[in-house]
């Protein structure tokens, strides 16, 4: 196994607080919510595991064995693809997305007549476009989904993520803003918290 201090990018002499800080910083960077619907979600999850394991190991080494309850961030994969009993075809499409059969998923969606396309259809098309890198289409689809079903938290959370990225808070240039806080760490934090709430709601509901 690789050196846990190297993984967290801290010197061996770092204090517990410094280590915790470094861990939190990295955990935010590779947080599953940030990579949700990204084609690299699995690799980010791998990285997250590595970071969690490294942090766990350092804690163990420092405090003695048996105290691994650090309450780390976990990767809970497919929780967002819940279904509340909508038409079974969308359940099927969601399953295809989870098992990474994107072409098949897109084929099925394209086969649905335009008169029968509901908010879910637009949302799923948005997710597929987002993954593919067709970000303008993704934005349009997700916006339409939100407009058709404004109460849906899942659509709203994805839409918020898209608009956050467009504003430049996740990288890029933000007009009318001082360059002092361009990386938008604060925004990202609050965004993660929101997304977590949304996820919780979904799972609970």
Partner 1 sequence: MREYQLYKSVYCGLCRHLGKDYGILARLTLSYDCTVFAMLSMSLKNEKCTVTNGRCTCNPFKKCLMCDSTEGESFAFAGAVSVIMSYYKLCDTINDSGFLKRTAAGFLRLLLKRNYQKAAKRFPDIDRSVEEMMEKQLAAEKENVGIDRAAEPTAQLVSKLCEMLSSSQSEKRVLGVFGYYVGRWIYLMDAADDLEDDAKHKCFNPFRSKLGNDIKETMTYCNETLNMTDAQLIMAYELLPISSYKDVLDNIIYKGIPKQQEYCLFEKKNENRRKKKEKNYFDYLNHQEWQK
Contact 9, 22 (CB under 8 A): yes
Contact 90, 111 (CB under 8 A): no
Which among 66-74, 100-108, 110-118, 170-178 is the span making contact with partner 1, rule CB under 8 A? 170-178
Which among 36-44, 49-57, 64-72, 101-109 is the span making contact with partner 1, rule CB under 8 A? 36-44
> 86: closest CA among 60, 130, 56, 117?
117
> 131: closest CA among 40, 198, 196, 44?
40
Can residue 44 be called a binding residue for partner 1 (CB under 8 A)? Answer: yes
Minimum CB separation from partner 1 for residue 88, in Å? 30
Residue 153 structure tokens: 């938290």
Can residue 38 be called a binding residue for partner 1 (CB under 8 A)? Answer: yes
Minimum CB separation from partner 1 for residue 4, in Å? 17
Of 50, 137, 143, 149, the residue at the interface with partner 1 (CB under 8 A) is: 137
User: How many whole angstroms separate alpha carbon 35 and alpha carbon 39?
Assistant: 8
Q: Interface residues with partner 1 (CB under 8 A)? A: 29-30, 34-35, 38-40, 43-44, 47, 129, 133-137, 139, 162, 165-168, 170-175, 182-183
């Amino acid at each position: 196994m690789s050196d846990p201090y190297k993984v967290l990018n801290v010197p061996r002499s770092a204090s517990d607080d410094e280590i915790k800080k470094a861990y939190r910083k990295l955990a935010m960077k590779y947080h599953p919510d940030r990579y949700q619907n990204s084609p690299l979600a699995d690799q980010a999850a791998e990285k997250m595991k590595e970071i969690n394991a490294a942090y766990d190991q350092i804690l163990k080494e420092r405090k003695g064995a048996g105290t691994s309850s650090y309450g780390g961030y976990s990767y809970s994969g497919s929780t967002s693809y819940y279904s509340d009993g909508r038409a079974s075809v969308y359940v099927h499409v969601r399953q295809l997305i989870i098992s990474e059969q994107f072409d098949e998923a897109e084929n099925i969606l394209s086969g649905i007549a335009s008169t029968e396309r509901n908010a879910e259809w637009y949302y799923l098309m948005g997710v597929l476009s987002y993954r593919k890198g067709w970000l303008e289409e993704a934005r349009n689809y997700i916006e339409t989904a939100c407009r058709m079903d404004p109460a849906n938290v899942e659509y709203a959370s994805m839409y918020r993520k898209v608009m956050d990225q467009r504003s430049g808070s996740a990288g890029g240039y933000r007009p009318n803003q001082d360059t002092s806080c361009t990386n938008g760490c604060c925004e990202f934090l609050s965004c993660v918290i929101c997304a977590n709430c949304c996820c919780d709601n979904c799972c609970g509901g």
